[in-house]
A and B are shown apart, each in its own frame.
Chain A
Amino acid sequence: MSQAAGTDGILSMVLKDKRLTESNVTLGDRLPGALVAGLGIVGIVGLALTGFGATVVGAKHAMAAYHTAVMAVLGICLGSLFWVMLFHILNAKWPITIRRQMEHVMRAMWVVMILFLPILLIEIIAGGILFKWMNPEITAGDAIYEHKAAYLNTPFFVLRAIVYFGIWIALITRFWAWQREQDETGDRWVSSKARFTSAYGLILFALSVAFAGFDWLMSLDFHFFSTMWGVYFFAGAAYSAMALNIIITSLLRAAGKLEGLVTEEHLHDQGKLLFAFTCFWAYIAFSQYFLIWYSNIPEETRYFDFRQEVFPNATLALVLGHFVLPFIFLLPRPLKRFRPYVALFAGCALALHVLDIWWVVRPMADAAKMKAAALEGTTAEPLGIKAAWVDLAAIVGVLGIFGAVVVRNVFSGNLVPVNDPRLGECLHHKNYV
């Protein structure tokens, strides 16, 4: 191992552990250039097809598809940052060997920021394609908008976007710099610093994620409001981040790495958290739905009404796939300890996370046209399945670019924080119940 062993007795004892051999905790120098390049090419082709779709199907639809994809990967990144901070602040021992993969995912935030930039620029230059409130012609004389105008205006919107990404990148950079420092020097006080930073970091995170959810998802329908929205976005983010973590660690185990470091005991806990966030998401989503259902205020109910009327299959798929089926199939204990099974459900969880965001964003591409038709007494058909290739192209494209960066990150160094002072306890982790 290239890293210094440190002088601490317990630490050097841990470092002598035969599970921490170089071949087990690194992927070596063999960065699969073909894989990274392939994912990158898939990404660029996907985005090019999305751009083509903008000319063929419509700019609004292409923007909605791209927005869905970017928000989905943003959720995965933010969820990973959340888990890293949670593990630090709780002084958690068991997730030490899986935490590094969370860090590799959150470290891809810069690419999400670059992918988000076109959304901001195009929306501002075009005067609101999806963000209708940016268009003064639409908001003129709108009583609901006038009450929100002090918050929902373009300059403040841009400023907030800068602040959100500023907070996230600052936190991610600090946590990652400390990880690198600890890997090299073995300074265990770094963990203490990370723990302290997590304390205020989580508060900043909670506020910024909630307001980012309001800005980038809820304001797509600027008449709609739900105080539960920030939590809803966060629930999907934490869920998908844990799902991706299970997939990455499972792939590494399949590649013969992390032998004895990420065991079925760790998998069991990952599965429990995946299960927990399935329930949490359902609880949040139903609370939001239920309050809106019984208060019966038109600005709010039309959000659900429109999605249930026009996208009944996606709505049902979300209820079944995001809650009912994972709840039933992830409940039995022995199944949560069987890696292929949990990895399969983690893959489904990622797909359902994308569908969740799609279900929020994509209907807005149809909403205005259908509303206008309804006012004239006619009906307009939603774009439907024939335009779905644009959605797929954008989602595959953004996931390809994001995936290329994550793969590069995973190959960049140690697969576990070899000098973490809590590593010894992580290696002896067991679920007694």
Chain B
Amino acid sequence: MARPIYQTESGARVFGILAQFENTLTLTNAAKAVRDAGFRKWDTHSPFPVHEMEHAMGIAGRAVRPLAYAIGLAALTGVVGGFLMQWWINYDYFIVVQGKPTDGAWEPFIPVTFEMGILLTAFAAIIGMLAFNGLPRHHHPLFNSERFLSTSDDAFFISVEAKDVKFDPETTRKLLEDAGATHIELVEE
């Protein structure tokens, strides 16, 4: 079944619903209510990290696991690739110094192997973090709301996207109202 397209009175498409909360306590409780209602495409916004929010949102562990695997894979690639690269470089062109063995000596390759592991891990962590966060990004529909700008200062919000299968302008608004929202608005795409 195709999802209905919601529009505001001016005819613009609805991105989602934005609800403001007074403090972290009401925000956390509301997040639990939204989580229990089964929503998937939604988020909470606060000026500072709120401990336990990942549990309240039901994304504890789940959110970072793909990134962790990506980093682990990058580390392994760095270690194996770093070692093989040096082995290949030295395979038929030995550099003989100080009477060191040229066959079967693994010692000189360890520092570069280690550093390649670190380098790719760091790249994967930084780039992966940006990618999983959907960054860099020039604009987000939520910034269409004047009120939302204060989330970097002193306001707490929950946004629920219209793309969510459970989304409905009336019932979702009701849910957030019951959860203690002080202000609710529809945000245009």
Contacts and interface: CB of A to CB of B under 8 A. Distances in A.
Interface of A: 286, 289-290, 293-294, 296, 430, 432-433
Nearest to B98: A296
A290 B98 contact: no
A430 B51 CA distance: 10
A260 to B, nearest CB: 18
Nearest to A295: B98
Given A430-B51, A432-B51, A294 B110 contact: no
B107 interface: yes
Contacts, number: 17
A229 to B, nearest CB: 19
B99 interface: yes
Interface in B99-113: 99-100, 107-108, 110-111
A294 B98 contact: yes
A296 B99 contact: yes
11 contacts: A286-B110, A289-B107, A290-B110, A290-B111, A294-B98, A294-B107, A296-B98, A296-B100, A430-B51, A432-B51, A432-B54
Nearest to A432: B51
Nearest first, the 6 A-B pairs at minimum CB distance are A293-B107, A296-B98, A290-B107, A432-B51, A286-B110, A290-B110
Nearest to B64: A433
A293 B100 CA distance: 9
B105 to A, nearest CB: 9
B18 to A, nearest CB: 26
What interface size band does chain B fall in? 10 to 19
A289 B110 CA distance: 11
Interface string B23-57: 00000000000000000000000000001001000
Contacts of B111: 290
A432 B100 CA distance: 49
Nearest to B111: A290
A293 B107 CA distance: 8
Nearest to B51: A432
With a 10 A CB-CB cut-off, give which of A289, A296, A432 has the most chain B CB atoms. A432
Contacts of B64: 433
Contacts of A294: 98, 100, 107-108
B96 to A, nearest CB: 13
Interface in B36-91: 51, 54, 64
Nearest to B54: A432
Interface in B104-140: 107-108, 110-111
Given A296-B98, A432-B54, A433-B64, 14 more contacts: A286-B110, A289-B107, A290-B107, A290-B110, A290-B111, A293-B107, A294-B98, A294-B100, A294-B107, A294-B108, A296-B99, A296-B100, A430-B51, A432-B51
B51 to A, nearest CB: 6
B179 to A, nearest CB: 24
Contacts of A430: 51
Nearest to A430: B51
Contacts of A290: 107, 110-111
A294 B110 CA distance: 12
Contacts of A289: 107
Contacts of B98: 294, 296
Contacts of B110: 286, 290
B72 to A, nearest CB: 9
Contacts of A432: 51, 54
A211 to B, nearest CB: 29
A287 B111 CA distance: 9
A295 B98 CA distance: 8
A296 B54 CA distance: 54
Nearest to B60: A432
Contacts of A286: 110
Nearest to B72: A331
Contacts of A293: 107
Nearest to A293: B107
Contacts of B108: 294
Nearest to A283: B114
A294 B100 CA distance: 8
A294 B99 CA distance: 10
A286 B114 CA distance: 11
A276 to B, nearest CB: 15
Contacts of B51: 430, 432
Contacts of B107: 289-290, 293-294
A430 B55 CA distance: 13
A263 to B, nearest CB: 16
A245 B124 CA distance: 35
Contacts of B54: 432
A294 B95 CA distance: 13
A294 B111 CA distance: 13
A289 B105 CA distance: 13
A289 B51 CA distance: 44
A286 B51 CA distance: 40
Nearest to B97: A294
Nearest to A428: B51
